[in-house]
Amino acid sequence: MSQPLVGMDLADLREALGSDQPGYRATQVYEAIYRGRATDLAGITALPTALRQSLAERIAFGLPEIARRFESADGTRRYLLRLEDGRTVETVLMPEDERDTMCISSQAGCAVDCKFCMTALLGLERSLTAGEIVGQVLTLVHDNNLDRAHDPRRLNIVMMGQGEPLLNLDNVIKATRILLDPAGFGLSPRRITVSTAGIVPKIAELGREPVRPKLAVSLNASTEEARSELMPITRKYHLKDLIEACQAYPLRPWEKLTFEYVLLKGVNDTDADARRVAKLLANINAKLNLIALNPGPEIPYQTPDPERVASFQTIVRRSIPCFIRKPRGLDIFAACGQLKSSAV
């Protein structure tokens, strides 16, 4: 079978339907998948039955299968989704009063090897297709009835699950276009954020995209040496070049560049680090999110005390907005840096 329907844009659908079909058929299928929330071909009721049947014989619908669900005491849900080739990938839903945040994966596993992240232990299995990225969103929307109970504008999507999105940029962009298309999933560009470990040339490439998500950069250290230890990718893409790429990044008028900083006890959490971080980001329209380390059995670092985190925040706040991110779903290994397809 060829490429499945989920993940196809209008041009793909026109081609898949064939030139003997009128052009509006592609639009009908597109709207049914991404806006109408169809879950299979039979659900695309706008199509004549005979066409639905002939399509079903040659094209899969393409939503991932829910292998397992884990529910946290705080309401967070972690999903283990099975892809067509049998691999699994994780997606997390964090319901809140005002909005829901969905954390999706861009790759199965990850090649980047950050020393504080459990996903690194998997290594890279493979990049996800655009359909597998969009499919995570659709599956969780269906499973949680988000289409009925919630306005899609209330939904925030962060690409902070497994994988390095900028090492799968083409598929990430294709998925983002479908998610942001008013005739597609219809999300506002303010509501989707892609997070990178700092793939410098790809940051510039993303900035040239006319339709793009917001960008977050995982900073995690305040000097070249410290960052090279924690995030070996720094030896390839230096901190200095990363900061320059961020300074040159074309922000939209309503946009700030988000930086993330995982605080590791006694490693990168001193007041001097905080002052250096404030200095590094001084010429960028930036905000900083602090995350105290979410521990994992194989991770050789400790979580700092809340007082240390607060002191770090106080110093950074003198220069730029700085927030402390509360961990969600720690008890089910759903929090930042804990996604390694664990089935416990």
Q: Which residues here bind ligand SAH, judged by CB under 6 A?
A: 112, 116-117, 160, 164, 195-197, 218, 220, 260, 262, 291, 293-294, 299, 336-337
The nearer residue to ligand SAH, 160 or 192, going by C-beta atoms, is 160
State in angstroms the smallest separation of the CB of 248 from ligand SAH.
Answer: 19
Which candidate in 15, 84, 90, 96 is catalytic?
A: 90
* Nearest distance, CB of residue 293 and ligand SAH, angstroms: 5
φ and ψ at residue 143, rounded to 5 degrees = -65, -25
Alpha helices in the chain (DSSP H): 10-17, 24-34, 49-58, 130-143, 146-149, 169-180, 200-207, 224-230, 239-248, 271-280, 306-317
103 in active site:
no
Give the residue with the Cβ less far from ligand SAH, 118 or 155: 118
29 vs 103, which CB is nearer to ligand SAH? 103
Active-site residue, selected from the candidate residues 103, 110, 114, 336: 336
Question: Least CB distance from residue 178 to ligand SAH, whole Å?
Answer: 20
> Rounded to an integer, what is the distance from CA 208 to the centroid of its chain?
19
Rank residues 27 and 228 by Cβ distance to ligand SAH and give the closer one.
Answer: 228
CB of 336 to ligand SAH, least distance (A): 3
Other beta carbons within 10 angstroms of residue 284's beta carbon come to 18
Q: Find where tokens 């089935």 sit.
A: 343
Q: Taking a C-beta distance cutoff of 8 angstroms, is the pair 264, 305 a contact?
A: no
State the Cα–Cα distance between residues 177 and 155, nearest whole angstrom: 16
Burial of 69 (0-12, 13-18, 19+ CB in 10 A): middle
* Residue least distant from ligand SAH (Cβ): 337
Query: Please, what is the minimum distance in Å from the beta carbon of residue 294 to ligand SAH?
Result: 4
Residue 15 a catalytic site member: no
Residue 218 in tokens: 């995982």
Rounded Cα distance between 329 and 72, Å, is 5
Q: Which residues pair with 53 in a beta bridge?
A: none
Catalytic residues: 90, 336
